[in-house]
A and B are shown apart, each in its own frame.
Chain A
Amino acid sequence: MSFPNPATSVKLVLLGEAAVGKSSLVLRFVSNDFQENKEPTIGAAFLTQKCTIGERTIKYEIWDTAGQERFASLAPMYYRNAQAAIVVYDITKPASFIKARHWVKELHEQASKDITIALVGNKYDLVEDDTEEESLRKVSVEEGKGLAEEEGLLFFETSAKTSYNVNDVFIGIGSKIPEAASAGPNQIHQTNNDGRIDLTSDPNNRPRAAGDCAC
């Protein structure tokens, strides 16, 4: 296989409670698609996608794991060699946030020391139009951001459904991953107030379309 630019391969794993939208996030990123009733993942699914950040091309090799507790014992096999992890919760489901906390802890204890972790609160579309008094939101932005700061994680709120912030997660992770030899100068991106990575790139300027993934 050959690319115009030598691509950095990044092994990435998605973790999080069942039905928080891990597969949907990946589907959005890889195929720019969304399915209302996606079948639950069994074991894990493997996908790839390239993503261009400035001069660099990153090729993500993604393991989308199954969220059901019963499958949890398989997870170490997938995060063992991962350079990046996305821990997903559903901002309308408090239990999924607790589970996310556990995953972060487990990653810090078991995964490789320099793993880049992004904490992602998904299903933002469900709370978008909510009023203050009546909201489906059960996990506040502050809680999410708080955990991310405590543990040194990137933080995003996303919607796989509307695609809000989805690419930004992968761009954010890519920017933070050190280049093979030396850390790139653009690795530091702090999250700003509304939980979005401040990127110079146009968020509508999607990374390469589906089918580009070299396989």
Chain B
Amino acid sequence: MGKKKQEMSQVYNNSNNEFIFGENGGKGKHLSSFLKNLSLTGTSSTSSVHSANTDNIHEINSNIYGTLGYSSSKVSSNQSNSGPPPKRSVSYKDLDDDWDADIDVSTDSVVRRSPDNRNLSRVTKVESNTSSRSSFNLQPSPMLDSLYPDLTLPATNSSVNLNSQKPTNEESLDVEDYRTTMEINRLNQISSRNNKFRNILISDSIVNLQDLRKLAWNGIPSELRALTWQILLGYLPTNRARQASTLKRKRQEYLEGLNASTIDFEDTAPSNSSSLYHQIKIDVRRTNQSIKLYGYPETQQSLRKLLYLWAVRHPASGYVQGINDLCTPFFQIFLLNYIWQLQQRVLSILEADTYWCLSRLLENITDNYIHEQPGIIRQVGDLRNLISKIDLELLNHLDHEGVEFLQFSFRWMNCLLMRELSISLIVRMWDTYLSETPLGFNNFHVYVCAAFLIKFSNDLKEKDFQEILLFLQNPPTGHWKEKDIELMLSEAFIWQSLYKNASAHLR
């Protein structure tokens, strides 16, 4: 983790990304999977196969990851010309679901007047925002939200609201309170600087470039950097009414440029005759390799594409070594911006889904975790019964050595063998548990435990009390593969069909 953290902070140039790496934030190690997801959605959205199937996948992806992508020209023309208009938040209430729409000020004002329930909260936000723009609890502007579909500002850290919720009690100002106050002051400072940026970026219909330069000269808050850079470079127009459409047009243009080329940008593509592309390819492979981000095949492919396109469109210079380095600050700053969005949007979805699925799972084994854990006690008893039928010799040996089932199999029930098997094997096991009726976490699990124990039967019969316990506490499953699990599951299945009714009868 420590190492990863370091790598990642390199990725972001030590930018002060509290959301990702801060003490309260997520762990750095999740970042790589975010990156992967990012590139996955990116790839799938450019796929132009138009079928009910891919639509579904696209819809699911956008539900899960948010509609981050913008479609390639082929896809978008398909969507607008054929088929029904895309459904809007019918099954999924997402206030941001019109991210990929090309919204300009006129549509935004329509939205604000819209009586549609879905937009009510947005309207409220707009109103409360104007009344308290300079106050501490300033929410990220919803106007920015709709104006810059890809540059949403991260929500203000909720701890910032401490100030209003928890007035400082001067009499009992102990260390904790002191620390809190300091933290609030620090956040206040950051927040007031952020507010200055926000004011410039949203208060007028034309962004005052002069003011923005003056402010940005001393550094830009990291969550506003992507947006500010794009304006300062003249990529994004200062006229806010034209920003969204410009973004869309420019991105489309880029994609069309790529589509016109005949290069296969896949890493695995057979080496190309173009010496230009070859040069780019070998350079990209060597770009910033100390930083993990640039090691991902997805990243490298992106760099190859954009460098190649630039080179063919600028024949006077073409590709010159070093330009590969110049694209990286943009690449990572803009990526960072997406990760903020992803973290916010995805994390809460991820949490909610995990919460509900965990609840469903636990419903099946509530007896395991109530007072005195009767479910586990019963399962341990069932396990003993089963072994008496399947492997009496083993049972006799355990009894002879004075090993109690509770001593070694309590944990198997309490943690569903998660301490005994690697997570990837557990995941495979859950495929089967989830397909059992009723779900396999309760009764079927006991049969699996029996199969698990009997796997080691011959070893165990050679051992004494202590050796047995030490062995079962740390069973040698390190080298196990999916097929070992599958064998165990089918053994469990057979025993279940043999003994299911008998064991109920036996009790």
Contact at A46–B466, with CB atoms within 8 Å? yes
Inside 8 A of B369's CB, which chain A residues have their CB? Answer: 70
Inside 8 A of B414's CB, which chain A residues have their CB? Answer: 42-43
Inside 8 A of B470's CB, which chain A residues have their CB? Answer: 46-48, 215
Q: How far is the CA of A73 from the CA of B380 in the complex (A)?
A: 15
10 other A-B residue contacts (CB within 8 Å) besides A46-B466, A48-B466, A77-B406: A1-B464, A39-B419, A42-B415, A43-B406, A43-B407, A44-B410, A48-B470, A73-B372, A74-B406, A215-B466
Inside 8 A of B410's CB, which chain A residues have their CB? Answer: 42-44, 74
Q: Which residue of A lies closest to B419 (CB)?
A: A42
Q: How far is the CA of A39 from the CA of B414 in the complex (A)?
A: 14
Q: How far is the CA of A44 from the CA of B372 in the complex (A)?
A: 15
B125 close to A (CB within 8 Å): no
Q: How far is the CA of A43 from the CA of B469 in the complex (A)?
A: 13
- Please classify the interface of chain B as helix (H, G, I), strand (E, B), loop, or mixed, using the class held by over half of its residues: helix
Q: How far is the CA of A47 from the CA of B473 in the complex (A)?
A: 10
Expressed in whole angstroms, the minimum distance between the Cβ of B470 and any Cβ of chain A is 5
Which residues 9-38 of A sit at the B interface, judged by CB distance below 8 A? Answer: none
A183 close to B (CB within 8 Å): no
Inside 8 A of B469's CB, which chain A residues have their CB? Answer: 46
A125 close to B (CB within 8 Å): no
Can you identify 30 A-B contacts, CB atoms within 8 angstroms?
A1-B464, A39-B419, A42-B411, A42-B414, A42-B419, A43-B406, A43-B407, A43-B410, A43-B411, A44-B410, A45-B473, A46-B407, A46-B466, A46-B473, A47-B470, A48-B466, A48-B470, A61-B466, A70-B369, A70-B371, A71-B373, A73-B372, A73-B373, A74-B406, A77-B404, A77-B406, A77-B407, A215-B466, A215-B467, A215-B470
- With an 8 Å Cβ cutoff, the count of chain A residues facing the other chain is 17
Inside 8 A of B415's CB, which chain A residues have their CB? Answer: 42
Q: How far is the CA of A73 from the CA of B414 in the complex (A)?
A: 14
Expressed in whole angstroms, the minimum distance between the Cβ of B112 and any Cβ of chain A is 50
Expressed in whole angstroms, the minimum distance between the Cβ of B173 and any Cβ of chain A is 15
Expressed in whole angstroms, the minimum distance between the Cβ of B384 and any Cβ of chain A is 15
Q: Which one of B371, B410, B473 has the highest number of Cβ atoms from chain A below 10 Å of its Cβ? A: B410
Expressed in whole angstroms, the minimum distance between the Cβ of A165 and any Cβ of chain B is 27
Expressed in whole angstroms, the minimum distance between the Cβ of A60 and any Cβ of chain B is 11
Expressed in whole angstroms, the minimum distance between the Cβ of B4 and any Cβ of chain A is 16
Inside 8 A of A44's CB, which chain B residues have their CB? Answer: 407, 410
- Per-residue CB proximity of A43-55 to B under 8 Å, as 1/0? 1111110000000
Expressed in whole angstroms, the minimum distance between the Cβ of A151 and any Cβ of chain B is 27
Inside 8 A of B406's CB, which chain A residues have their CB? Answer: 43, 74, 77
Expressed in whole angstroms, the minimum distance between the Cβ of A211 and any Cβ of chain B is 12
Inside 8 A of A48's CB, which chain B residues have their CB? Answer: 466, 470
Q: How far is the CA of A46 from the CA of B407 in the complex (A)?
A: 9
- With an 8 Å Cβ cutoff, the count of chain B residues facing the other chain is 18
Inside 8 A of B466's CB, which chain A residues have their CB? Answer: 46, 48, 61, 214-215
- Please classify the interface of chain A as helix (H, G, I), strand (E, B), loop, or mixed, using the class held by over half of its residues: mixed
Inside 8 A of A39's CB, which chain B residues have their CB? Answer: 419
Q: Which residue of B lies closest to A72 (CB)?
A: B372
Inside 8 A of A77's CB, which chain B residues have their CB? Answer: 404, 406-407
Inside 8 A of A43's CB, which chain B residues have their CB? Answer: 406-407, 410-411, 414
Inside 8 A of A61's CB, which chain B residues have their CB? Answer: 466
Q: Which one of A42, A43, A214 has the highest number of Cβ atoms from chain B below 10 Å of its Cβ? A: A43
Inside 8 A of B404's CB, which chain A residues have their CB? Answer: 77
- Per-residue CB proximity of B354-386 to A under 8 Å, as 1/0? 000000000000000101110000000000000
Expressed in whole angstroms, the minimum distance between the Cβ of B99 and any Cβ of chain A is 39
Q: Which residue of B lies closest to A63 (CB)?
A: B407
Q: How far is the CA of A48 from the CA of B465 in the complex (A)?
A: 12
Which residues 444-467 of B sit at the A interface, judged by CB distance below 8 A? Answer: 464, 466-467
Which residues 52-96 of A sit at the B interface, judged by CB distance below 8 A? Answer: 61, 70-71, 73-74, 77
Expressed in whole angstroms, the minimum distance between the Cβ of A44 and any Cβ of chain B is 7
Which 5 residue pairs are nearest across A and B when measured between Cβ atoms? A43-B410, A46-B469, A42-B411, A73-B372, A43-B411
Q: How far is the CA of A45 from the CA of B407 in the complex (A)?
A: 8
Q: How far is the CA of A64 from the CA of B118 in the complex (A)?
A: 56
Q: Which residue of B lies closest to A214 (CB)?
A: B466
Expressed in whole angstroms, the minimum distance between the Cβ of A150 and any Cβ of chain B is 31
Expressed in whole angstroms, the minimum distance between the Cβ of A71 and any Cβ of chain B is 8
Q: Which residue of B lies closest to A48 (CB)?
A: B466
Q: How far is the CA of A151 from the CA of B372 in the complex (A)?
A: 29
Q: How far is the CA of A43 from the CA of B413 in the complex (A)?
A: 10
Q: Which residue of B lies closest to A45 (CB)?
A: B473
Inside 8 A of B372's CB, which chain A residues have their CB? Answer: 73
Q: Which one of B372, B404, B464, B466 has the highest number of Cβ atoms from chain A below 10 Å of its Cβ? A: B466
Q: How far is the CA of A77 from the CA of B373 in the complex (A)?
A: 15
Expressed in whole angstroms, the minimum distance between the Cβ of A11 and any Cβ of chain B is 11
Q: How far is the CA of A44 from the CA of B470 in the complex (A)?
A: 12
- Per-residue CB proximity of B465-486 to A under 8 Å, as 1/0? 0110110010000000000000
Which residues 129-187 of A sit at the B interface, judged by CB distance below 8 A? Answer: none
Expressed in whole angstroms, the minimum distance between the Cβ of A33 and any Cβ of chain B is 15
Q: How far is the CA of A171 from the CA of B464 in the complex (A)?
A: 26
Q: How far is the CA of A1 from the CA of B195 in the complex (A)?
A: 75
Inside 8 A of A46's CB, which chain B residues have their CB? Answer: 407, 466, 469-470, 473
Q: How far is the CA of A59 from the CA of B269 in the complex (A)?
A: 65
Q: How far is the CA of A4 from the CA of B419 in the complex (A)?
A: 36
